[in-house]
Amino acid sequence: MFDWVLKLEADKEILQQFTEGNIEQAALKLVKTYKNFVYLTAYRYLKNYDDAEDITQEVFIKALEKLKSFRLESTIKTWLYRITVNFSKNFLRKKALYSFFSIDKLNDGDTEFDIADTTKGTEIEYKELEEKFLQAVANLPEKQREVFSLRYFDKLSFNEISKLLGTSVGGLKANYFYAVRKIADEMKKYLEE
């Protein structure tokens, strides 16, 4: 409940700055607050870091264009989530079409984390684990993946997730349980190595 109030307050502040004409400040605050959320959401769909970054930029540009007409009927976070999912799905459709006509080859090369710039052993180990963790999440079935991410990373309530995904709270809880179980199973083998 307290989280919800804080989120609304932050959203109100962004909107207020925007309507008062402090557009650049509002834009910067919006991007800084929600960049990780948008980026991770895009990554879960695209499974590619470069594409996720491109889509994140597109999402914010679109959101800033439409922010004037945004009404606080939902939080900015859930609004951004919808935009991100739509953009990611459209991107995947286009990419599939291009690859079908061989216009653009699917680039899976950068899904693996580049560890060339790391030096310490533990750091590499941690980064690899973080990478594996993200991949394990991204490889879940869509419903499980989304409920896990929105609940675990983004701390949304089941009611909020239910509105976003159009699934009953009971169904979401079951999906959440199966997602946690699968991730634990998947990550266990890397942690035991």
- In the complex, the residues that contact another protein under the rule CB under 8 A are 24, 27-28, 31-32, 35-36, 39-40, 49, 53, 56-57, 60-61, 64, 126-127, 129-130, 133, 151-152, 170, 173-174, 176-177, 179-181, 183-184, 187-188, 191
Question: C-alpha angle with apex 171: 170 to 177, nearest 5 degrees?
Answer: 95
In whole angstroms, the minimum distance from the beta carbon of 27 to another protein comes to 7
- Give whichever of 98 and 126 is closer to another protein, judged by the CB atom: 126
By the 10 Å C-beta count (0-12 exposed, 13-18 middle, 19+ buried), 54 is classed as: middle
Q: Which ranges constitute the DSSP H helices of 47-75?
A: 49-66
Q: Tell me how far apart the alpha carbons of residues 113 and 15 are, in angstroms, rounded to a whole number.
A: 36
Considering beta carbons, is residue 28 or 72 the nearer one to another protein?
Answer: 28
Least separation, in Å, of the C-beta of 184 and another protein? 4
Q: Which residue, 1 or 5, is less far from another protein as judged by CB?
A: 1
CB of 88 to another protein, least distance (A): 16
> Residue 102 or 109: which CB sits closer to another protein?
109
| CA–CA distances in Å: residue 49 to residues 23, 30, 37, 40, 70 | 28, 21, 14, 9, 29
Q: In whole angstroms, how close is the CB of 56 to another protein at the nearest point?
A: 6
Closest to another protein by CB, 65 or 108: 65
CB of 76 to another protein, least distance (A): 15
Tell me the C-alpha distance between 143 and 141, whole Å: 6
Three-state DSSP class for 193? coil
Joined tokens for residue 94:
């286009």
Q: How far is the CB of 14 from another protein (least distance, A)?
A: 14
Q: What SS3 class is residue 168?
A: coil
Of 61 and 73, which CB lies nearer to another protein in the complex structure? Answer: 61
67 CB-near residues (< 8 Å, 6+ apart): 14, 15, 18, 26, 30
